[in-house]
Amino acid sequence: MEKQQLLYEGKAKKVYATDDPELLIVSYKDDATAFNGVKRGTIAGKGVINNKMSNRLMRMLENAGIPTHLVRELSDRETLVRQVEIIPLEVIVRNISAGSFSQRYGVGEGIEFEYPTVEYSYKNDALGDPLITGDAAMALRLATRSELALIRQYALRIDHELTKFWQKCGVTLVDFKLEFGRLTDGTIVLADEISPDTCRLWDSATGEKLDKDRFRRDLGGVEEAYREIMRRLEANDPV
Ligand code: ADP
Ligand code: MG
């Protein structure tokens, strides 16, 4: 597989074309941003950890019947994926209150929900990724009704699988963000990444944060937290 021109440089990854028009190479960076790019920094080793963690978790989800963009890991930082047309929605699943949910509704963090919640943000940096309803997403033709129904179903199944896996690792899955896309034939697949950048992961025993909130909130021990969460994943091989 030949790496060709850089198509897009995002906040956390670079995306390259390949000699196959249906395949891309994603390269994970150590760059970290928060609050829509206002806070910037680097987390040494993050790119390698996120690449490997995302691939292991996506392989696990594939085994559970959820289609993903993953083709194969090429190196520590690079992975071959199927090119999709990204649906510009951030699909957020929450099991426990935290972050913007707590702010929006004026509740503390750490309230366990009886049922997981699925919410959507419109992926649009200029607008600051605003919360959006399913109806508004359909009105803007971001996705069809049946696509949204399937995305919600996948999101809840992914929550179930990830919660179960992280539980084995002594980690509580608080919430996470997903992105889905369409293959050329319209098939919806999970794309982007699943990593400590996109999940809230708390040590089940101590409540210690093992995710990007350490960076967002200047809690220190950022690199250590990424290494610890990867160590737990490797000790409980998801695939
Ligand atoms: P951003 O700064 O927009 O979050 P990232 O640094 O995360 O970007 O880079 C990844 C970009 O590639 C994102 O825009 C993401 O939506 C997109 N992407 C992820 N997976 C795929 C895929 N399989 N096909 C096409 N685009 C993808
Ligand atoms: Mg991103």
CATH number of 71's domain: 3.30.200.20
Where do the H-state alpha helices sit in the chain?
46-63, 99-105, 134-139, 145-168, 213-216, 222-235
CA of 108 to the centre of ligand 1 (A): 31
Question: Residue of the nearest CA to atom 3 in ligand 1?
Answer: 10
Q: What secondary structure letter does DSSP report for 209?
A: B
Separation between Cα atoms, residue 196 and residue 58, nearest integer Å: 14
Six token digits for residue 40: 């910037």
**C-beta 70 within 6 A of ligand 1:** no
- Please report, to the nearest 10 degrees, the dihedral formed by the alpha carbons of residues 12, 148, 24, 27 taken in order: 20
| 50 CA → ligand 2 middle, Å | 12
Q: CA 237 to CA 2: how far, in whole Å?
A: 30
Domain count of the fold of the chain: 2
Query: Does residue 130 have its Cβ closer than 6 Å to ligand 1?
Result: no
Buried b (16+ CB within 10 A) or exposed e, 21-52: eebbbbbbbbbbbbeeeeeeeebeebbbbbbb
Task: Compute the distance from residue 30 Cα to the ligand 1 centre, in Å.
Answer: 15
Q: Same domain, yes or no, for 41 and 144?
A: no
Residue-wise pLDDT for 47-67, tens only, equals 999 999 999 999 999 999 999
193: which 2 tokens?
């990444």
151, 180 contact by CB (below 8 A): yes
Q: What's the pLDDT at 239?
A: 87
Model confidence pLDDT, tens digit, residues 119-160? 999 999 999 999 999 999 999 999 999 999 999 999 999 999
Buried b (16+ CB within 10 A) or exposed e, 79-105: bbbbbbeebbbbbbbbbbbbeebeeee
* Predicted structure pTM score: 0.98
Ligand 1 binding pocket includes 34 (Cβ within 6 Å): no
In terms of domains, do 63 and 21 share one? yes
Give the ligand at the shortest distance from the Cα of 28: 1
Provide the domain limits for residue 25.
3-82
Whether residue 56 sits in one domain with residue 160: no
In this structure, the answer to whether residues 191 and 125 fall within a common structural domain is yes
Q: Enter the DSSP assignment of 194.
A: -
Give Cβ neighbours of residue 239 (< 8 Å, ≥ 6 apart).
Answer: 56, 59, 60, 63
**What is the radius of gyration, based on Cα positions, of the chain?**
17
Task: Say what the pLDDT of residue 226 is.
Answer: 98
Indicate if 75 and 92 belong to the same structural domain: no
Does 179 sit in the ligand 1 pocket, CB within 6 Å?
Answer: yes
**Each residue's pLDDT tens digit, 158-212:** 999 999 999 999 999 999 999 999 999 999 999 999 999 999 999 999 999 999 9
The answer on 188 and 92 residing in a single domain is yes
Per-residue pLDDT reduced to its tens digit, 69-99: 999 999 999 999 999 999 999 999 999 999 9
Of all ligands present, the nearest one to the C-alpha of 15 is: 1
Q: Is the pLDDT of residue 1 over 90?
A: no
User: What is the reported pLDDT for 238?
Assistant: 85
